[in-house]
A and B are shown apart, each in its own frame.
Chain A
């Protein structure tokens, strides 16, 4: 088996596993450290830059597809929309929004709970009301639409 490892490589492996070799730190030159620090900074910066898309900053309420209101997601409040069969109550808290109550028979949009990501949507079909979150920047969004 040993025969098939390249001669040079076998010698190198044998010596690399020996005791008394150079410490790992000695293998790094000053330019290596500089490059590593710069690259690590770039990598760290790429997280907020590329992962910001999912953050929502406003809730859009529609009735029959027509815009009713846009609620900023920074102040907690409740908002009532009158729809086809009754009143839907939207609750907004910092960074999230939900349908608090709805007259629909199956309560799908209420059971969906809190919406937190941009483009997440809760549809109260019987009452013709939708609640959708929107993020900043049209392009940098993670999803076209989110539903459960």
Chain B
């Protein structure tokens, strides 16, 4: 096999982000198969991964995982550049903005549940704002707000609890090293 002439250095950070993003994408694709009573009401399970990454590895990694999830998840289910993609992107961007602020909440009082609920509300806020401005330019959109807010409260709490449980496990998370990743055949198709 001809060796590639372009060498892209892959860091441990890249492997870690790619693996978390893969988990988030798998969750969002699985969730796309769930029936929903109202378009836009979803559990948002991928946000559990984003929360865990935020706490473990910081906001930058969380932003990578969240945005990769939106782009690749929409490619997988064939929604890329469809209205749903832009709604998801608006929600993810708003939620990342809130996460950047919410992670500075005093951790003595506020745990992942608070962060998750705030992010869930930012998510629906971003989506409704975009829907009002672009897709349904009518105040009737706000009619659905109580339902979306109820879903955000419910799923934000549940996702936060799951993330809190994952984070409460007192295990040092091993960082995936390039060497360790190379030993798994799926991650390294190169020479």
Binding site for B on A (CB under 8 A): 3-9, 11-13, 15-16, 21-22, 24, 26-32, 35-36, 39-40, 42-43, 46-47, 50-51, 53, 139, 142
Q: Is the CB of A43 within 8 A of B113?
A: no
Residues on B with beta carbons closer than 8 Å to the beta carbon of A142: 140, 143
The digit string for B126-160, where 1 denotes a CB below 8 A from any CB of A, is 00000000000001101101100110010001001
Q: Nearest chain A CB to B27's CB is how many angstroms away?
A: 11
Q: Is the CB of B106 within 8 A of A31?
A: yes
Residue of B nearest to A34 (CB): B109
Instruction: Write 15 A-B pairs (CB below 8 A) sorted by A numbering.
Output: A4-B22, A8-B175, A16-B162, A21-B168, A21-B169, A28-B161, A29-B110, A29-B113, A31-B109, A36-B113, A43-B146, A46-B149, A47-B146, A53-B143, A139-B139
Q: Is the CB of A6 within 8 A of B110?
A: no
Binding site for A on B (CB under 8 A): 16, 19-20, 22-23, 49, 52, 56, 105-106, 108-114, 117-118, 121, 139-140, 142-143, 145-146, 149-150, 153, 157, 160-162, 164-169, 171, 173-176, 180, 184, 186-187
Main secondary structure, interface of B, reads: helix
Residue of A nearest to B20 (CB): A6
Residue of B nearest to A13 (CB): B166
Residues on A with beta carbons closer than 8 Å to the beta carbon of B173: 7-8, 11-12
A6 CA to B176 CA in the complex, in Å?
Answer: 8
| A35-B114 in contact given A11-B173, A16-B169, A43-B153 (Cβ < 8 Å) | yes
Residue of A nearest to B157 (CB): A36
Q: Is the CB of A7 within 8 A of B176?
A: yes
Q: Nearest chain A CB to B65's CB is how many angstroms away?
A: 10
The 4 closest A-B pairs by CB, nearest first: A31-B109, A8-B173, A6-B19, A27-B164
Q: Is the CB of A16 within 8 A of B166?
A: yes
Q: Is the CB of B146 within 8 A of A50?
A: yes
Q: Is the CB of B165 within 8 A of A21?
A: yes
Residue of B19, B20, B165 with most partner-chain A CB within 10 A: B165
Residue of B nearest to A31 (CB): B109
Q: Nearest chain B CB to A13's CB is how many angstroms away?
A: 8
A21 CA to B149 CA in the complex, in Å?
Answer: 31
A11 CA to B168 CA in the complex, in Å?
Answer: 12
Q: Is the CB of A51 within 8 A of B117?
A: no
Q: Is the CB of A29 within 8 A of B56?
A: no
Residues on B with beta carbons closer than 8 Å to the beta carbon of A139: 139
| A43-B169 in contact given A27-B113, A29-B111, A142-B143 (Cβ < 8 Å) | no
Residues on A with beta carbons closer than 8 Å to the beta carbon of B168: 21-22, 26-27
